[in-house]
Amino acid sequence: FHYNNTITKGQELLDLKKALDEGAIDQNEYDLMKDKIINDEYIKSFFKQMDEEEFDSVSI
């Protein structure tokens, strides 16, 4: 399994700002989502979990 992100963080941030400007999301949602995009913690934790699961399934 290989993760390939074709949308850049810059594009995600621009789309997010547009959603805020158009009223689709509020400031709190914008701040939360912006932090997630910038920090990528969700993606990091997702792959850490995937790596651990793959490791657990290997028998020696």
Q: For the segment 25-39, what is each residue's pLDDT rounded down to a tens digit?
A: 999 999 999 988 888
The dihedrals phi and psi of 12, each to the nearest 5 degrees, come to -60, -40
pTM assigned to the model: 0.56
**CA distance linking residue 8 with residue 40, whole number of Å:** 12
Q: What confidence score (pLDDT) does residue 25 get?
A: 97
Inter-residue contact 35 to 24 (CB < 8 Å): no
